[in-house]
Amino acid sequence: MITPMLAEPIVIAHRGASGYVPEHTLTAYFIAIQQGADYIEPDLVATRDGVLVARHENDITGTTDVASRLEFASRRTAKVVDGVPLEGWFTEDFTLAELQTLRARERIPELRPGNQRFDGQFLIPTFDEVLAFVAAMDEQRAAAALSQDKPLPPRIGVYPETKHPSYFRGIGLPLEPLLLDVLARHGFGDRGSPVFIQSFEVGNLRALRTLTELPLIQLIETDGAPFDFMFGGDSRLYADLVTADGLVEVASYADGVGVHKSLIIPRDAANELGEPTRLVADAHACGLLVHAWTFRAENHFLPQEFRAPRGIASTLGDMQGELRAYLNAGIDGFFTDYPDRGVAGRAA
Compute the average pLDDT of residues 262-285: 97
Q: Is the backbone of residue 287 left (phi > 0), alpha (psi -120 to 50) or beta?
A: left
Compute, in degrees rounded to 10, the torsion defined by CA atoms 106, 112, 115, 120. Answer: 20
Q: Work out the average pLDDT over 189-217.
A: 95
pLDDT of residue 300: 97
Q: Which H or E run includes 11? A: strand 10-14
| pLDDT tens digits for range 170-179 | 999 999 999 9
**Per the domain annotation, does 96 fall within a domain?**
no
234 has a pLDDT exceeding 60: no
pLDDT at 281: 97
pLDDT value of position 4 = 45
Q: Is 294 part of a structural domain of the chain?
A: yes
Domain membership flag for residue 316: yes
pLDDT tens track for 177-187: 999 999 999 99
Angle at 167 between CA 166 and CA 171, to 5 degrees: 115
Model pLDDT, residue 6: 55
Q: In this structure, what CATH number is given to the domain that contains residue 164?
A: 3.20.20.190
Chain center to CA of 315? 23
What average pLDDT does this structure show over 250-254? 96
Residue 258, in any domain of the structure: yes
**Spatial distance between the Cα atoms of 326 and 92, rounded to a whole number of angstroms:** 38
CA distances from 90 to 18, 57, 72, 75 (A): 21, 8, 11, 8
**Amino acid in position 240:** D
Give yes or no for residue 114 having a pLDDT over 80. yes
pLDDT tens digits, residue range 117-143? Answer: 999 999 999 999 999 999 999 999 999
Confidence of residue 1 (pLDDT cuts 50, 70, 90): very low
Number of domain units in the chain: 1
**Within-domain flag for 66:** no
Give pLDDT tens digits for 17-48: 999 999 999 999 999 999 999 999 999 999 99
Mean pLDDT value across residues 35-64 = 98
CB 338 within 8 A of CB 3: no
pLDDT the model gives residue 229:
57
pLDDT-derived band at 310 (thresholds 50, 70, 90) equals: confident
The pLDDT value recorded for residue 235 is: 64
Amino acid (1-letter code) at residue 247: L
Q: What would the mean pLDDT of 308-314 be, rounded to a whole number?
A: 92
Structural domain range at position 291 = 10-59+123-347
Residue pLDDT, tens place only, 282-304: 999 999 999 999 999 999 999 99
pLDDT for 154-167, tens place per residue?
999 999 999 999 99
Question: Is there a domain that residue 90 lies in?
Answer: no
Q: Is residue 81 part of a domain?
A: no
Residue 237 vs residue 133, higher pLDDT: 133
Band of pLDDT at residue 269, cut at 50, 70 and 90: very high
Which pLDDT score, from 0 to 100, does residue 270 have? 96
User: Does residue 232 carry a pLDDT above 60?
Assistant: no
Distance CA 22, CA 29 (A): 10
CA atoms within 13 A on the CB side of 108: 14
**pLDDT value of residue 247:** 97
Residue 114 lies in a domain: no
For the chain, the average pLDDT equals 94
pLDDT of residue 2: 42
Burial class (CB in 10 A: 0-12, 13-18, 19+), 4: exposed
Query: Would you state the pLDDT for residue 222?
Result: 87
Residue 236 has pLDDT above 80, yes or no: no
Mean of pLDDT values over 235-240: 79
